[in-house]
């Protein structure tokens, strides 16, 4: 499942491909923003982001598709960008300002879809237990959450969209579902699994801190607290009293592709099952 | 266009929308079954649809405009001020402004060019350095006319400019105007016409109204950036006057709903906004479980003392919305 998820394109704002795949495995509902929600019981909400950096076509002039980049990863000029059946090369009108006036020079003629969103064609590779892929931590969380959504008979699983433009999916889901306990997953640059004690605009509640610590201790899951109030996280997007944000270790965190250990799929699954077992 | 003139020339800086809401409310009461204000001065007007199998649609425009607020008064009777909403402060110089409920006339000033140093000349003038002259000599005299906390708006007349229209606060009194014109007609679906406050300082009104109204769809009616001038790159133009209302794909607050955008596109002449910056109340609606699109009138010189728009774009926007609101298969 992880292999498949790592190869499906999922640009921010146009996440249908991955949602369709999830839909073949488990029945869910889509909210107005586009979050896919599998709600078996509303005691704990589990959340991961499914979207990748997007290049959205704002206008087309000949074979140049002018695009805006939504996301926070550095994408070098010359990268291949795919819009479904059409592919092109990322260019800038002024190469000295590589983030401004971006356009994709299409390889073939006939592309006319203003509003289309594409992603970087970055090959997915594996080496032993290590995956090297776009948004590696999100893919691990997605894979683990999807497996749990299929096998478990409780929990509310939210596969969130539009994270690359300010965690819109997390805000919308927490407003609509009004959970009082959220467990969300994102990346960390630490070497082990972490939970976020404090990030920009967020301090963990005492109840949430005690819960994650006791669950990990009781289930032999190694986890460490992490605190950096200068770092943005998904945490403060949730309008909810108890939020646990679990960090999944990745290397090369700001590059197009990151490396992550697939053992975390099992670890995250065990964590979710333990939460479901013990309740909030 | 008499109504648009009234809406444009009425003052209502963010936080001071009471009077403009009153004008709109008086008109809305003629057409809507339910009209009420909340504590923020968001105005809600419900017009029931003609069908039983209808959807609920939330149409939004914002009543507030960018402007200034008086921050202090000097001993010599000059007013110091801060901007409200996003304004390029360098364009504030030598403008007529109207302060407070009594619309006291003032002019914005700064030291004359003859007395500027080379360094002064290199930098953009800021509101910090400017003052408002209301023609008095002392703080006591000034305090008889104005108070700290009074709002100020630009003193700009609404008028025809060739084939175009010139006025202040088109952002977003034009959206209000379009909603009031739509309100005169009956449509298939239930429509909540929401006139939101405080959009210019962070979508504050819409964040409240969109939690209150449960709607299947939201359409935000707005004014947007337009840079269809000579020597501007195609990718920086944003929108063009007379090319129809502009549909937003993505802006600083994220993506609009693709399906809804396509439905609106099928309903009439349109263009796409091709610069993904700025934002509007759609950013608030989408977070409150409403599928939302934004339709904007291209406005040259937006967020300044005056804007220029095309009446043709306004008509096309009304036509697009009329077709949309009568679509049975939403």
Question: Each residue of A135-188: pLDDT tens digit?
Answer: 999 999 999 999 999 999 999 999 999 999 999 999 999 999 999 899 999 999
Distance of residue B130 Cα from the nearest chain A Cα, in angstroms: 33
Nearest Cα neighbor of A268 from A209, A233, A213, A216 is A216
B226: left (phi over 0), alpha (psi -120 to 50) or beta: beta
Q: What is the mean pLDDT of residues B281-301?
A: 96
Say which of A68, A103, A162 has its CB closest to residue B276: A68
Per cent of chain B over pLDDT 90 is: 87
Shortest Cα–Cα distance, B255 to chain A (Å): 6
Residues of B in contact with A70 (CB under 8 A): 250, 276
Nearest to B220 by CA among B157, B155, B172, B180: B172
Closest listed residue to residue B99, CA positions, set B145, B136, B156: B145
Whether A100 and chain B come into contact, CB under 8 Å, resolves to no
Search chain A and give the residue with CA nearest B254. A165
Is the pLDDT at A213 greater than 80? The verdict is yes
Give the residue from A32, A94, A168, A238 with the most B CB atoms within 10 Å of its CB, the best one to mutate: A32
pLDDT of residue B226: 95
- A93 close contact with B: CB closer than 8 A: yes
For residues B88-105, average pLDDT: 94
Strands (E) across chain A are located at: 29-30, 36-39, 45-49, 54-61, 64-70, 80-83, 86-92, 102-106, 117-120, 125-127, 130-134, 156-160, 181-188, 194-199, 202-203, 224-227, 242-249, 257-261
Helix (H, G, I), strand (E, B) or coil at A163: coil
Between CA B65 and CA A143 the distance in angstroms is 47
Backbone angles phi, psi at B311, to 5 degrees: -65, -30
**Residue B53: pLDDT above 80?**
no
Q: Which of B105, B44, B62 is nearest to B223 (CA)?
A: B62
pLDDT score for A13: 92
pLDDT digits (tens, 9 = 90+) for A258-274: 999 999 999 999 999 99
Cα of A88 vs its chain's centroid, Å: 25
Share of chain A above pLDDT 70, in %: 100
Count H helices, E strands: chain B? 9, 19
Write out chain A residues lying below 8 Å of B275, CB-based.
Answer: 58
Tell me which of B17, B65, B199, B200 is the catalytic residue.
B199
Query: Do residues A111 and A236 make contact, with C-beta atoms less than 8 angstroms apart?
Result: no
**Cβ-defined contact of A101 to B287 (cutoff 8 Å):** no
A39 or B54, which is more confident: A39
pTM, 2 dp:
0.91
Predicted ipTM?
Answer: 0.87
Residue A33 distance to chain B (closest CA, Å): 6
A69 interface with B at CB cutoff 8 Å: no
Contacts of A219 (CB under 8 A, 6+ apart): A270, A271, A274
Length of chain B: 330
Which of 32-61 (A) contact B at CB < 8 A?
32-33, 56, 58-59, 61
C-alpha–C-alpha distance, residues A69 and A86, integer Å: 17
For chain A, give the number of residues: 280
* Unique residue bearing structure tokens 């090297």: A132
Give Cα separations from A129 to A142, A220, A259, A261, B244 (angstroms): 17, 21, 10, 6, 55
Local structure of residue B202 (DSSP, 8 states): T
Q: Among the listed ranges A103-117, A224-238, B109-123, B218-232, which one has the minimum average pLDDT value?
A: B109-123
Provide, as residue numbers in chain B, all residues whose Cβ is less than 8 Å from the Cβ of A56.
249-250, 255, 276
Chain B contacts to A (CB-CB under 8 A): 211, 233-236, 249-250, 253-255, 257-258, 261, 272-276, 286-292
pLDDT computed for residue A280 by the predictor: 67
pLDDT of residue A101: 83
């Amino acid at each position: 499942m992880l292999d498949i998820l790592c190869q499906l394109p999922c640009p921010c704002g146009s996440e249908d491909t991955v949602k369709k795949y999830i839909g073949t495995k488990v029945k869910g509902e889509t909210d107005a923003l586009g979050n896919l929600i599998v709600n078996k019981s509303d005691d704990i909400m589990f959340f991961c982001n499914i979207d990748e950096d997007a290049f959205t076509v704002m206008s087309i002039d000949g074979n140049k598709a002018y695009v805006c980049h939504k996301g926070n990863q550095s994408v070098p000029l010359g990268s291949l960008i795919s819009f479904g059946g059409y592919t092109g090369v990322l260019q800038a009108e002024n190469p000295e300002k590589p983030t401004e006036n971006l356009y994709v020079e299409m390889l073939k003629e006939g592309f006319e879809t203003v509003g289309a969103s594409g992603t970087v064609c970055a090959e997915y590779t594996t080496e032993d237990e290590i995956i090297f892929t776009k948004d590696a931590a999100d893919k691990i969380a997605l894979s683990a959450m999807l497996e749990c959504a299929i096998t478990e008979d409780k929990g509310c699983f939210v596969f969130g969209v539009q994270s690359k433009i300010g965690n819109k999916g997390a805000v919308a889901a927490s407003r609509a579902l009004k959970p009082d306990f959220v467990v969300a997953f994102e990346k960390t640059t630490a070497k082990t699994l972490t939970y976020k004690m404090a990030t920009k605009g967020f301090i963990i509640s005492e109840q949430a801190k005690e819960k994650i610590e006791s669950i990990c201790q009781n289930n032999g899951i190694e986890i460490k607290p992490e605190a950096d109030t200068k770092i943005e996280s998904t945490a403060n997007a949730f309008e909810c009293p108890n939020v646990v944000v679990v960090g999944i270790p990745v290397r090369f965190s700001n590059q197009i592709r990151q490396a992550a250990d697939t053992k975390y799929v099992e670890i995250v699954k065990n964590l979710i099952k333990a939460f479901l077992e013990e309740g909030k | 266009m008499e109504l648009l003139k009234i809406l444009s020339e009425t003052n209502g800086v963010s936080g001071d929308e009471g009077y403009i809401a009153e004008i709109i409310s008086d008109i809305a009461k003629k057409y809507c079954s339910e009209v009420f204000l909340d504590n923020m001065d968001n105005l809600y007007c419900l017009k029931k649809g003609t069908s039983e199998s209808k959807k609920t649609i939330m149409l939004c425009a914002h009543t507030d405009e960018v402007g200034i607020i008086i921050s202090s008064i000097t001993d010599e009777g000059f007013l110091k001020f801060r901007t409200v909403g996003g304004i390029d402060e360098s364009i504030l110089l030598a403008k007529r402004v109207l302060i407070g409920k009594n619309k006291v006339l003032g002019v914005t000033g700064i030291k004359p060019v003859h007395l500027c140093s080379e360094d002064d000349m290199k930098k953009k003038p800021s509101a910090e350095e400017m003052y408002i002259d209301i023609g008095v000599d002392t703080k006591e005299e000034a305090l008889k006319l104005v108070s700290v906390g009074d709002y100020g708006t630009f003193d700009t007349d609404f008028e025809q400019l060739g084939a175009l229209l010139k006025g202040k606060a088109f952002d977003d009194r034009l959206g209000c105007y379009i909603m009031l014109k739509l309100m005169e007609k009956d449509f298939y679906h239930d429509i909540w016409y929401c006139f939101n406050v405080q959009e210019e300082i962070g979508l504050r009104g819409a964040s409240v109204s969109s939690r209150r109204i449960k709607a299947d769809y939201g359409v935000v009616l707005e004014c947007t950036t337009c840079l269809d001038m000579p020597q501007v790159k195609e990718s920086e133009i944003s929108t063009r006057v007379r090319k129809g209302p502009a549909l937003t794909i993505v802006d600083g607050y994220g993506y609009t709903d693709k399906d809804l955008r396509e439905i609106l596109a099928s309903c009439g002449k349109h263009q796409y906004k091709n610069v993904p910056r700025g934002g509007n109340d759609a950013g608030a609606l989408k977070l409150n479980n409403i599928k939302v699109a934004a339709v904007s009138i291209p406005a040259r010189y937006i967020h300044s003392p005056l804007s220029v728009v095309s009446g043709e774009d306004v008509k096309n926007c009304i036509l697009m919305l009329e077709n949309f609101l009568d679509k049975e298969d939403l």
